[in-house]
Structure 1
């Protein structure tokens, strides 16, 4: 008996959209330029958001997004549609980010700061207007441990089911659920703290 699929945040019609994207990826294997264009356009925004929330700065995010698609298009002949094209592509994006981090860590640091406390403080939430503010959310996510941030972004922002997020992250589905729950708890706590401090600042 096939187990029931895990609950997801996908909206009605999303499964059909995912099937279309996967179909474009499969068609792109034959060199169909229209299929390649549809495939890239459909997932470009999500790939860029993913690498950005994994810690890439704007310039690096653009480079990593391009690198992801170059890798994907170069290995499309290996894609057989066993997973969704989105899951497959985000797995490639994750490897691109990891390779970039390894490459950067091997290079000598030309600029750095000894004032790590101040640097850390600059990443903390400050005067948050609300959870829907993209900048505020990015700052909050930056304070999460890498694994929790990735799980939250994959499932809550990009809308991947937990099973697919587990495939991308290469960990058990239970681990993804735990990371998301802990990330959500931390974000809610930080937001509540920020909301309590904003009226005080406004009254000063």
Structure 2
């Protein structure tokens, strides 16, 4: 039997099946499977939370928090959905909780901002650094629902159907949001490349 699925989608489904198997084995107490589970999905979670929270430094903490929460509730995971979808829903809640905590945290005036100091100390000469910052700025300009649909399908690599199941909205809505997000990003890029924008 010849598969008619595109190679990328077939590869993703195979990777999802492997990650789900690791999660189920980890649930049964297999420590090696738990390590493989983290390695298989760490990159996806880190990319997703980075774009949701907009802060690469916080994203590493949120990724660790996501996996800590996942292992805390692994006994309830039954493999009915891919482990990646389950894990990304945990990541989404972790980011939302982090934003809520930050909103209620008192701000201290006239003190050294350790995050700002740390960011200033980082090298900006790394390949792709400027492009990454520019991409974060562009994505931040998108409305939340469009940004999430774009990230899930174009960055994380979920299919439109998987993204629809993840966000709880129809597939057509996800397609529309991604289409509009692309149109907005293309317009912003065109505007940024005009001589007037560069002079400003």
TM-score, shorter chain, exceeding 0.5:
yes
Q: What range is the shorter-chain TM-score in?
A: 0.7 to 0.9
Residues 76-91 of structure 1 mapped to structure 2, 5 A cutoff: 76-91=74-89
Q: Distance in 1 between matches of 2:141 and 2:79?
A: 35
Asked if structure 2 preserves the Cα contact closer than 8 Å seen for 1:9 and 1:161, the reply is: no
Consecutive unaligned residues in structure 1, runs of 5 or more? 1-6, 112-129
Question: Separation in 2 of the partners of 1:23 and 1:105?
Answer: 38
Point out which structure has higher relative CO (alpha carbons under 8 A, 6+ apart): 1
Q: What is the RMSD computed on CA atoms of the aligned residues?
A: 2.6
Deviation at 1:142, TM superposition (A): 1.4
Correspondent of 1:97 among 95, 98, 107:
95
- Matched with 2:115 is none
Q: How far off is 1:62 after superposition?
A: 1.1
Unaligned regions of 5+ residues in structure 2, if any? 110-127
Q: What is the rounded CA distance, in whole Å, between the counterparts of 1:145 and 1:8 in structure 2?
A: 30
* 1:52 maps onto 2:33 in alignment: no
Cα deviation for residue 198 of structure 1 reads 8.3
1:130-149 maps to which residues of 2 (within 5 A)?
133-149=131-147
Counterpart of 1:176? 174
Answer whether contact 1:162 1:176 (CA < 8 A) is retained.
yes
